[in-house]
Amino acid sequence: MGLNLVQEQGRIGSAEWAAAGRALPGENVSGDHFVALDTGDGSALFGAIDGLGHGDAAFDAAHRAAAVLSENPAEPLDVLILLCHRALANTRGAAVTLVSFSPSSISWIGIGNVRASLVAVAPGGPMVRATALNFGGIVGYSLPSVFEAQTIPVRTGDLLVIATDGLGTDESASVNLSSQTREIAEDLVATRSKSTDDSLVLVVRHRGTPQ
Ligand SMILES: [Mn+2]
């Protein structure tokens, strides 16, 4: 697997996750990175980072943010945004959306345009139950004066979808909830990636608390 193609999956507590992505065709590296980190007690930190633009400079910014998150996964989300902001000071910056996942609730925060939504099973098909509020700004360059995480409840079967802007919009309402997370992620990247940007999606399913 090269740096220009992402296909990974895993499980942390009740969260089954899969990531898929690809670099802008012609680039050897992607500027879109993800994190899926165990924070203990069945909880996890998930996130996606879109280094501005594409190519090596975008890769460098996203890589630094992912490294900071990996070193401090249990810090509060707003603290993590500040840590990323400092670490990216001499880079071109990035859009960053982070989600703290526990079996009963998720908290999320976004700076820039990486989308996150929570999709639930409904009688008429998938329903987007909540969407993260994204604050304007560029991590590493300019943060909004006020930003804070929001917390919402989650239930078994819910699907969290985090996608960079290299994927077309409204992806979460069209997912096939009966598919495995890996299939959902790979299908979204294969069918909805724009030809002008790197693309990445991280799909997390709440599998319920083990008995
Ligand atoms: Mn992008």
CA 143 to chain centre: 19
Q: Tell me whether residue 211 is in a domain.
A: no
Q: Give me the domain span that covers residue 14.
A: 6-206
Q: How far is the CA of 201 from the centre of ligand 1 (A)?
A: 11
73-81 own/partner pairs: CB under 8 Å, 24+ apart: 73/35, 73/37, 73/38, 73/39, 73/45, 74/39, 74/40, 74/45, 76/149, 77/107, 77/108, 77/109, 77/149, 78/109, 78/147, 78/148, 78/149, 80/45, 81/109, 81/111, 81/139, 81/143, 81/147
Quote the number of domains for the chain: 1
Distances (CA, A) of 155 to 43, 96, 138: 14, 25, 32
* 71 occurs within a structural domain: yes
Query: pLDDT under 70 in the chain at which residues?
Result: 1-3, 210-211
Does some domain include residue 42? Answer: yes
**pLDDT value, residue 8:** 96
C-alpha 113 – ligand 1 centre gap (Å) = 8
The predicted-structure confidence for 72-106, as pLDDT tens digits, reads as follows 999 999 999 999 999 999 999 999 999 999 999 99
Q: What is the pTM of this model?
A: 0.96
Give the pairing of strands 105-111 and 134-135. parallel
46 alpha carbon to ligand 1 midpoint, in Å? 18
Burial pattern 182-202, b for ≥16 Cβ within 10 A else e, equals bebbbbbbeebbeeebbbbbb
- Distance (angstroms) between ligand 1 centre and the Cα of 47 equals 14
Give the list of residues 6+ apart from residue 135 with CB closer than 8 angstroms, or none.
109, 110, 111, 144, 147
pLDDT of residue 2: 54
In a domain, 43, yes or no: yes
CATH number, domain at 88? 3.60.40.10
Whether 156 is covered by a domain: the verdict is yes
Q: Which of 95, 97, 100, 99 is nearest to 41 (CA)?
A: 100
Instruction: Please tell me the distance between residue 198's alpha carbon and the centre of ligand 1 in angstroms.
Output: 6
82 domain-assigned: yes
- The pLDDT assigned to 5 comes to 84
Residue 132 belongs to a domain: yes
Ligand 1: centre distance to CA 210 (Å): 37
- Span from the CA of 58 to the centroid of ligand 1 (angstroms): 9
Q: Compute, in angstroms, the gap from residue 155 CA to the centroid of ligand 1.
A: 30
- Cα 173 to chain centroid distance, Å, stands at 17
- Going from the Cα of 110 to the center of ligand 1, the distance in angstroms, rounded, reads 14
- Look at residue 181 and tell me if it is in a domain: yes
Which pLDDT does position 190 carry in this prediction? 92
**What is the largest distance, in Å, between two alpha-carbon atoms of the chain?**
49
